[in-house]
Structure 1
Amino acid sequence: MYSHHSSLMRSSVLLLLMVCAFGILAGTGVCAEEQDRIPTKISIALDPATPQAGQEFYITGTLISTTGEPLGNKWIVLESTAAGATPGKFQYLKVTRTERDGSFSFFRPSASPPEDLKVRFKGLYPYAASESDVVSAKK
């Protein structure tokens, strides 16, 4: 009796792992852990709104759940690519944490080049990952 239950348990765990792996590979997010995550939304803005060559500026935004809850103390990644470069070629620039109200900011110096920028929250249980729109600076 013990070996039958043990075998059944191993088969069940293996099946669950296979379903999870298939869901991840297929991009369907079948795993219960992924389905249980709370969706998030991250915004991005430039200050000043249209920085010019030789001008310093800030990248600001807010991370919230889709129910409007501000997400404080979460890591936000700033990524950049040369202005007009092939989409999808973004590279890591900096990381910061959100304030209690979900807000964050990054400083870009006057020597920064023309660039396209986006911010990303990689997700942290129970919250799902999110990525901002792309904004252009110094074009």
Structure 2
Amino acid sequence: MVSQHHLKAGRVFMLLLIVGIALVLFGSASAAGQERIPTTISIALDPAKPAADQGFFITGTLITDTGEPLGNKWITLESTAAGATPGKFQYLKVTRTERDGSYSFFRPAASPPEDLMVRFKGLYPYEASQSEVVTAKK
């Protein structure tokens, strides 16, 4: 036999479940109507022109269009052979931005001549952005 306590606990659970689902649905609907915040991601090489047998860093910053740094966001590094057909970039690595929006990747001395770019895929409420393309070791 089911006790009154168990019936009451079951009703409370169902009520909380319904309220939770309503909040999720309402939150998604209200978020869909809001505009996303534009972002900008920069890219630079250090050293600026690495030699063929030299390792180097790819650095930059992810910010909003108003200059607010975006920390703790995933950034991907993508590459294609230097001078290859545009749009044929391949995923290389991923990292998170620091609190000040900065990020850094390292490419070893054995890396080939390549075109590089970084990408922020966006995360609500922020829009996605990608950097310009830079060429290394060419």
TM-score (norm 2): 0.76
* Amino acid in structure 2 at the alignment position of 1:116: D
Shift of 1:52: 1.1
**Aligned-pair CA distance for 1:69:** 0.2
Distance 1:82 1:67 in 2: 34
Aligned to 2:93: 94
Counterpart residue type for residue 52 of structure 1? A
Amino acid at match of 1:65: T
Tell me: CA distance 1:106–1:38, structure 2 relative to 1, closer, same or farther (3 Å).
same
**Which residue does 1:21 correspond to in 2?**
none
Matched with 1:63 is 62
Gaps of 5+ in 2: 1-30
Q: Secondary structure at the match of 1:69?
A: coil
Q: Gaps spanning 5+ residues in structure 1: where?
A: 1-31
Match for residue 133 of structure 2? 134
CA-atom RMSD, angstroms? Answer: 1.2
Match status 1:121 vs 2:120: yes
Moved >6 Å (runs of 4+): none
Larger radius of gyration: 2
Percent identity over the alignment is 82
Q: Distance in 2 between matches of 1:69 and 1:83?
A: 33
Q: What is the TM-score with the length of structure 1 in the denominator?
A: 0.76
Alignment-derived partner of residue 28 in structure 2: none
